[in-house]
Every structure is written in C-alpha cells, then in structure tokens.
Chains A and B, each alone.
Chain A
Amino acid sequence: MCKPVFKPVFKPVLKIVLLLCAATAFAQTKYPGVGKPVAADRVKAADKTVMADGRGLPAGKGNVETGRALYKTNCAECHNEAGEGRDKQWPALVGGTGTLATKAAKKTVGSYWPYATTVWDTIARSMPYNNPGTLKPDEVYAITAFVLHLNGIVPATQELDEKSLPLVKMPNRDGFIPTVHPDVNAKR
C-alpha cells in the first residue's frame, strides 16, 4: 500500500507521504489514533534481525587470522583458548561431531547448529556476555570465521562477508525436522 522510497534529499516530500500514509492507516484500523506510524529510518535503526539466508546482515568482512586475535582478547576468558569451554561453566563452542545419535550427545556450534548466520547473530547480539552489542560488524565476521575454523568448517585462509557467510554449509544443516504433535502415545 504506502511504500514511499526514502531518499534523504526529498525530506519534505517524504514527510507529506508519511502523513498521507498515516492518515490512510488510521482510517482503515479498528482503533483510530492509537499507536504512532514510524518512518523507515527508525525501523532501520532498530531492526537487528538476521535471517538464515543472510537478509539483515550488515556489510562487512573479516578473516580467520583477525578473528583469532579478537577471540583471544574478547572471548577466551570464558570459552577458553580453543573454544573448548571452561570449568563446565561456559559453553564449549567446538566438539561433539558425530555424537548426536549417541547417548553422550554434545551440542555445539560445530556439531549441532544448522546455520552460520545464527553464529554471527548470536555473537553480534549477545557476546561478549558482559559487554554485548559492542563488536563492530567486521569484528563479528572475523570472530565468526575463527569459531567456524575451530570447528573445521572453514579453512584458515577464509574470509567471510555478508554474501559468503550464509553460503557456509553447517555440518548439521539437515538435522532438524518439523514437530509432529503429539508424539507420545500413552496406553490406558
């Protein structure tokens, strides 16, 4: 319906378009006047969603070597030098390959996670645990490359950016199935 193309040069025009949009939206809703229509720049600033196909990833790049150094300063304190986890306190980021169908299943980035984008997104939004959201996109690409390398998923020479990251095939990419519910049949 109302999809103005935002270009900063046309700011006055934009405002009018927005107001028109707002008016139409209000006229159509059941509860007119409740809630504030917002402009694209507000949405853009808040929208941190990263989709599995890479939509939402910011432009940037980083390689395994840069990632190794960044990991050492930002992550090793908790997740240990080679991502093996620490003191049963902080989760391991490596290992567990081949264990999922055993009683000693170990779920890690390498053995379990289906999408490389989720690794990027987890680090970008929630790590380092005590200081989340502070890493720049380039740094997150580099650390992601390093964590994937620790898991043997990408070579030591790998560089990742917003185009190549979603193409990384995770070992357990096909490990998830839709839920059939209910799945347990009790006998009376």
Chain B
Amino acid sequence: MADRRSFLGLAAVLTACTKSSKAPSVVEQSMAPYGERAAAEASILRTATERTASVGVGSSTTPLQELHGVITPSALHFERHHAGIPKIDPAKHTLLVHGLVAQPMEFSLDDLKRLPAVTRTHFIECSGNGGGELRGVAGATVEKSHGLLSCSEWTGVPLKVLLEQAGVKPEAKWVIAEGADACRMARSIPMAKCMEDALVVYGQNGEALRPGQGYPLRLLLPGFEGNSSVKWLDRLHVTQEPAQSNQETAHYTDLLPNGKARQFSFVMDTNSVITRPSGGQKITGGAGFVEISGIAWTGNGKIKRVEVSIDGGKTWVDAALEEPVLSRSLVRFRAPWVWDGKDAVIQSRATDETGYLQPTRDEIVEARGTNSQYHYHGVKQWAVKADGSVTNV
C-alpha cells in the first residue's frame, strides 16, 4: 500500500514535469516563504492544559525529551497565562516609564530598536516547574516533570538603559512591571535586578517574540521565576516599595510547614534532568553504547559541574558540559555509558559556580515541607529496564 502510494506520488510529479516540458525529476517540494519541519517530526508538540472552563488560564509544556542542544524552538516554548494571549498592534504599542524618574518617558518599538541591542541566551522556568515531583505525582516524561522550562536567544535593550534614559532617582528601590493582557498582570522587581541584567526584549531566536511570549515586548529577568518576566510589557512604574500585587502575594509565595510563606523568592535554584534516555523512551537494539544526555540550569549564574549516576545515586561520574557554558542559560551535558543490558536507575545532579549542589527531593521536603509547589529542583531519576524501556520512578 505504502509502495503504491509513493509510486502514485512520483507519477504525479512526472506528469507535472511533462506538462512544463522539463526533464523528469523526483523533487517533491519547492521553496516555501516560511519553513515547515519534516512531516515525520510533526508529532513533536507541546501539551496545552486549560485549568478552568474560562479559557486563558493555563499552561503548555515543552517536550524537552525530544529536543537537542539548549535552544527551544519558539513554537515549542512553554507558556503559562493567567488571562490568555492579547492581540497587540506593534505600531501602537508603547512602553511607559514613570514614577521615581526625572522625566516620565514613552518608548515605541521603533525607539527601542534605535538603542544599542544585546542578544543573550537565557532559560525561562515557571516557578511551579516540577511541583508535581514534590507532591509525589512524578511525571512520566521530561515534559510532564520539567516542561515548564525553555531556553531562547533573546534580543532587546538592557532595562538599565531605559531607566537611565528617564533619569531614575537614587531613592528608587522597585520597578512594577505591568503587561497588556486582559488581567494586566503586574509584578514588582527589585531595583538591583533591573540594573544588573534585566532586559526588555522584542526578539526571540532571531525573530520577533511569539504572541504567547509577549509580542511585541516582554521583560526578561535572567534566572528569575518565569512569572516575573512580564509579557506584553507596556508600563514600568518606578517606586520605593513593591505593589504587593496578586501574583506576588496570593501566588508565587512559598508556604512553609510553620504556616509562614517566603515572599519574593525570585531565583530559580540549581537543577538538572536527563533527557535521553528518559521516561517514555526506549533503548532499541539491546546492550551497548548509549550516550546519557541532559540539561542543567541555575538562576545563580553558571553551571560548574554535572554528575551522572547509573546506580541510583550510589556512585557518580562527571559529565562533560557542552561549550559555551552561559550564565542563566540551559547547559547540555553528556556522559558516555556502555549499558550492560540490565536494570539501571540513572540520575543527574548539578553544581553551580557558587558551589550550590542540587539537592534530593527528601532534602527539599526537609527544608520546605510539601505545601509549596514552587521552586522545586530535586534530583530526578529514571529507571531503565532490561527490555530498554525507560520509566519514571
């Protein structure tokens, strides 16, 4: 059947060629103005989940187990929305900077593109990523366990430049960033972060931002919880105190066993996960060489070391880190493994440049209890069975 179909396909091409009186050819597809991936890869998709029947509150997760390197294709970048994706006319969109500044200023997209641009590779991770692992409903695949994580090359202007352009005053301590989505989501950002490495970006992986990533403009706070990188950014209010907005009080605060909650816990902790072989995959062809490969990341700066275990954490060997190792970016690690064809439990653990070691789930539970679903970063393990199947344990 398959043979006959391809034969028929070829016949159609031949007919077309005959008509244009050119030499017969097996070329099946010509250039397209905007490229598509191979048909056989089209099943690699995000999983989108609406949380309520009110459309727009929900998330979609990145199938990290299917990706190579560290860049997430823009179309597969995870999303988490609190009130859907707004349609914005970039020609009318402006960014207002006001509050504790010498002169309130407004920047159009054209204005922003006149300023010296920077391009940097950074991950964005939702603060709730891995929350299921903490609660003991471990994900069957990397997408299920860690898919609220993506990494892109972002292009824009340092936030510092815009604040200085408006004449930010010395007494300013916070910047309240607000988006143009239906709920006008707002987060208060400490001034130190705004001046250190915060970006206001319009570019993602060489193109304009995708609508789900804040088109035409978003804040990008490297290494901070994703919710604070406000999308559809149109207002920056420079203040002395945080606003205590919904998202920085009712949500994205970390409830501890004693009933108190950590607030403004922005930094995403040092983390890693093996993406190949990983849950849901199968090693085909039996015992022999299999490369163990995965990703590591930290909001603290650079990843310094990743170790891999094939015996459930009893012994560890160093994995190789693929260069360049960039600050607050995903890093790809690789470790050669000659699999003996027997059951194995594989794990990875990362150490960052401050010396912080990725903890186990038990160590996190000991420090924080189980009420907070945010900032989970425990060691993740996968079970490889003798038949080559890989499952979550």
Partner of B103, one of A37, A89, A126, A181: A37
Residues 11 to 67 of chain A near chain B (Cβ within 8 Å): 21-22, 24-25, 28-31, 34-40, 42-43, 46-53
Say yes or no: A101-B246 contact (C-beta < 8 A), given A28-B167, A34-B165.
no
Residues of A within 8 A of B153 (CB): none
User: B83's closest neighbor in chain A, by CB?
Assistant: A126
One of A137-145, A151-159, A172-180 at the interface:
A172-180
A8 at the binding interface (Cβ < 8 Å): no
Interface residues of B in 133-168 (CB under 8 A from A): 161-162, 164-167
Query: A112 vs B263: C-alpha distance in the bound complex, in angstroms?
Result: 12
CA distance A177 to B263 in the complex (A): 6
Q: How many A-B contacts at CB < 8 Å in the complex?
A: 195
**Does A175 contact B261, Cβ atoms closer than 8 Å?**
yes
The answer to whether B167 and A35 have CB atoms under 8 Å apart is: no
Q: Which chain A residues (144-188) contact chain B, with CB distance < 8 Å? A: 175-188
B263→A51 contact, CB < 8 A: no
A34 adjacent to B164 (CB under 8 Å): no
Cβ of B128 < 8 Å from any Cβ of A? no
Cα A36 to Cα B67 in complex, Å, equals: 43
- Known A49-B243, A176-B262; further 7 A-B contacts with Cβ < 8 A: A25-B105, A28-B102, A30-B165, A31-B114, A39-B104, A176-B260, A185-B367
The secondary structure that dominates the B interface is loop
> Does B368 contact A183, Cβ atoms closer than 8 Å?
yes
Chosen A-B contacts, 28 in total, with CB atoms closer than 8 Å, are A29-B167, A30-B165, A34-B107, A34-B114, A35-B106, A35-B165, A36-B106, A36-B111, A37-B104, A37-B106, A40-B104, A42-B96, A42-B106, A46-B98, A46-B235, A49-B243, A52-B244, A89-B52, A89-B54, A100-B255, A103-B370, A117-B244, A118-B244, A121-B246, A126-B183, A126-B185, A132-B184, A176-B253
Give the B interface residue count (CB, 8 A).
72
Confirm or deny: B371 has a beta carbon within 8 angstroms of a beta carbon on chain A.
Answer: yes
- Residue numbers of B with Cβ under 8 A of A are 51-54, 82-83, 96-98, 102-108, 111, 114-116, 161-162, 164-167, 176, 178, 182-186, 235, 237, 239, 241-246, 249-250, 253-255, 257-267, 269, 300, 349, 356-360, 363-364, 367-368, 370-371
Q: In the assembly, what is the distance between CA of A21 and CA of B114, in Å?
A: 22
B54 and A130 form a contact (CB under 8 A): yes
Q: Which residues of B contact A103 (CB under 8 A)?
A: 370-371
- For residue A5, CB closer than 8 A to chain B, the reply is no
- Complex Cα spacing A95 to B301, Å: 41
